[in-house]
Structure 1
């Protein structure tokens, strides 16, 4: 992709729960390997496969906002939308971007109505944890949507209207390798 100027002020948004799941998964697999010391190579193959799956599904997804465009990195597809090409930015269960016929949802930016809202902690000034986290999250604007809309407002009339959707080649390769490793682990186990 060609840019007229250097990309500055990037903001990278990732799903904290997805990252936590990846770290917990890696720790669990490592703990399982150490505790059971499986015979043969099946345990190592399984651990490598699980690690690849966790990376592609939980760790890698992101929304990258820079001066030229917004990029949504999902497990199977990357979409880069220049600010002047962006037609709509909204939220439902996740950040939803539309540019012409291209529509994408960001796995790394779940919406306030999603299950991730259950993990939000809302503390009053007196230090009391409020009970209705989902309802409160629905009234607060989503940080990813705010970040996209702020940059979009500032840059929407600049000549950066490219829209590019492409397979996430590295992620797909890791997922394919993980599938092969899982099959190999099953056959050797």
Structure 2
């Protein structure tokens, strides 16, 4: 049995931590905070969780699951038709196609900060020129597990709303409106 692999966007997670730290620092600096300020800090924290912390690509023996902010797509290995990269990891199974927010592609702006070492040991910073030579780790992980498991019977395709994310998003938006009204 193979272990479950969970891929997340490191920059998004860092943004969430920085945002939460800033909200906490602001709350400490203005203690006791006004009602609207506290509502705003809680709302922003919820938005950071939905948009930056929760998204992931979960790879296990039965399927690959793409957890995006508003929906979860689970595709069994035998149902997967295509795994590719553009601006992000793209998966297709029949009529269902999804992109993984948590796995940005090498063509994204975050690739500009990647560092690559040439065979001569020279450090290159131009990741865009390296796209063809360095496949994205998320794509490699999906393709390796897919090759190993594609003939094994597995589940089909499940598309479901991310109920917790939608609830947190709705609450965050309501809190932002309340904060604006109270301000």
TM-score over 0.5 (shorter chain): yes
- 8 Å contact from structure 1 (residues 112, 138) kept in 2: no
Q: Equivalent of 1:159, from 153, 158, 167?
A: 153
1:138 is displaced (CA, Å) by: 4.4
Match of 2:172 in 1: 178
- Cα distance in 2, alignment partners of residues 121 and 43 from structure 1: 40
- 8 Å contact from structure 2 (residues 114, 125) kept in 1: no
- For the aligned residue pairs, the C-alpha RMSD in angstroms reads 1.8
- 8 Å contact from structure 1 (residues 89, 96) kept in 2: yes
- Cα distance in 2, alignment partners of residues 54 and 124 from structure 1: 37
Q: Structure 1 residues 39, 82: closer, same or farther in 2, change over 3 A?
A: closer
1:127 is displaced (CA, Å) by: 7.3
Q: Structure 1 residues 31, 11: closer, same or farther in 2, change over 3 A?
A: same
Range 157-166 or range 25-34, more displaced: 25-34
Match of 2:130 in 1: 136
Are positions 1:35 and 2:29 aligned together? yes
1:55-75 Cα offsets, whole Å, 9 max, x none, are 000000000000000000000
- Cα distance in 2, alignment partners of residues 39 and 53 from structure 1: 20
Residues 107-122 of structure 1 mapped to structure 2, 5 A cutoff: 107-122=101-116
- 8 Å contact from structure 1 (residues 42, 188) kept in 2: yes
1:119 is displaced (CA, Å) by: 2.3
Are positions 1:14 and 2:5 aligned together? no
Unpaired runs of at least 5, structure 1: 1-6
- 8 Å contact from structure 1 (residues 63, 108) kept in 2: yes
Match of 1:188 in 2: 182
Match of 2:69 in 1: 75
The TM-score, its normalising length taken from structure 2, stands at 0.93
1:134 is displaced (CA, Å) by: 2.3
- 8 Å contact from structure 2 (residues 40, 176) kept in 1: yes
1:137 is displaced (CA, Å) by: 4.0
